[in-house]
Structure 1
């Protein structure tokens, strides 16, 4: 069922919605609609069946998914329509969002069309889709986690996992796979995206703050090693704040 039909049905119940806090309770009404109509009949279920070919071949639990290889509850803005309380998981190797066809279903998983996913939230983590930007003649695109956002810039994180082959223990010649994280940070400011690989990249974008940036790295070395996300958030919250960088090259 399309977005227009869904909105028309919800409109019929406006006497009940009008006197409520629509913003706070919006997800309750959409959840009610999906329960009555059935989520499998909404625009969300527009993708292809997903088959996990790596079942029983994951080495020591090092799977390819974000947070967990089990489905977790989240929300999705898909093809212009918001959906709440959706069972999903995010594959970091293929950069694809997967949803359970029915609540609690394990064997029936759908892979959404990536270009139709504008943003999604898993627990307290929010991701947006970047359609593409060039860096060293390489096109960078896909989903990025939003770490910070204000009027001057957006600090993003690109989560990825790389597949590696492993052979079982002694007496086990079976081929296994482990997935290793390879994450990078991206800054969006002044209409440009720029990958942050090192302290030098930050200084290059904010040369007038070089001294403060160097001091921050020295004082927060332990935090950088233990929690790089929080380190980057604090760097931009306390040192860079609302500063506007030079145009990225």
Structure 2
């Protein structure tokens, strides 16, 4: 029986949260209900239980890691096979492009790679990621992208990934993970690469001078935080076009 049906049966049996008007609306009561059952039934009851174990034997230099920001688990949410899960412990392995979940019980050290093809979207903190299954893999990497609405008709997608390099340090082979990015804009129902200034100018030729000025004034940000730079410039261009 599917997890959703199990939860519905438990709601009827125990009479919890009777004030919920509809089990399909994401009210605060519904979120609390799902959280209660997920925690009490355990991760083995969830639809994504059949993912492979997440293993990491990396020996890295300077505490680097393969994950998005940190190898710590953070609170997040997930949409999997059309079912919503809340207050999960998640982290995102951007080297392997795998979303990892940890059971609620901290004594259980099992970590699971969630089956990617069944994931529609997930959130870690306030950041939303979507699985761009429809993206042409000959043009883009595909998989999980951070999604940022930059205007009424445009959405910026950022692919966070890392390249692995081996280094020899004190006769020990260690790994370095170098952050990389791919930037894609959804504009006029088309996915368009915007990985350099020329591609952005081609999309907005009337704003060429202001785009050049933005690049010049924010060159340090572009070097230190390419992701934030791209979010800022796309929002800036959208404001110019309003």
User: What range is the shorter-chain TM-score in?
Assistant: 0.7 to 0.9
Residue 152 of structure 2 aligns with which residue?
A: 151
Residue 97 of structure 2 aligns with which residue?
A: 95
Counterparts of 1:161 and 1:36, CA distance in 2: 36
Residue 168 of structure 1 aligns with which residue?
A: 169
Give the secondary-structure state (helix, strand or coil) at the position aligned to 1:163: strand
Question: Which residue of 213, 216, 236 maps to 1:218?
Answer: 216
Q: How far is 1:7 from its partner? A: 5.1
Counterparts of 2:227 and 2:155, CA distance in 1: 14
Q: How far is 1:102 from its partner? A: 4.1
Runs of 4+ in 1 over 6 A off after TM superposition: none
Residue 44 of structure 1 aligns with which residue?
A: 48
Q: How far is 1:70 from its partner? A: 2.1
Counterparts of 2:106 and 2:241, CA distance in 1: 46
Q: How far is 1:66 from its partner? A: 0.9
Question: Which residue of 104, 108, 112 maps to 2:110?
Answer: 108
Normalising by the residue count of structure 1, what TM-score does the alignment of the two structures yield? 0.84
Residue 32 of structure 1 aligns with which residue?
A: 36
Contiguous gaps of at least 5 residues in structure 2: none
Which residues of 2 match residues 1-249 of structure 1 at below 5 A?
A: 1-6=1-6, 8-9=8-9, 12=12, 13=15, 15-18=18-21, 23-54=27-58, 57-105=59-107, 107-134=109-136, 137-169=138-170, 173-241=171-239
Q: How far is 1:217 from its partner? A: 2.2
Matched-pair contact (CA < 8 Å) for 1:152–1:243: no
Normalising by the residue count of structure 2, what TM-score does the alignment of the two structures yield? 0.86
Matched-pair contact (CA < 8 Å) for 2:151–2:238: no
Counterparts of 2:26 and 2:100, CA distance in 1: 29
Give the secondary-structure state (helix, strand or coil) at the position aligned to 2:89: strand
Give the secondary-structure state (helix, strand or coil) at the position aligned to 2:227: helix
Counterparts of 1:142 and 1:3, CA distance in 2: 25
Q: How far is 1:71 from its partner? A: 1.8
Considering only aligned residues, what root-mean-square deviation do their CA atoms show, in Å? 2.6
Counterparts of 1:207 and 1:104, CA distance in 2: 54
Matched-pair contact (CA < 8 Å) for 1:156–1:187: yes
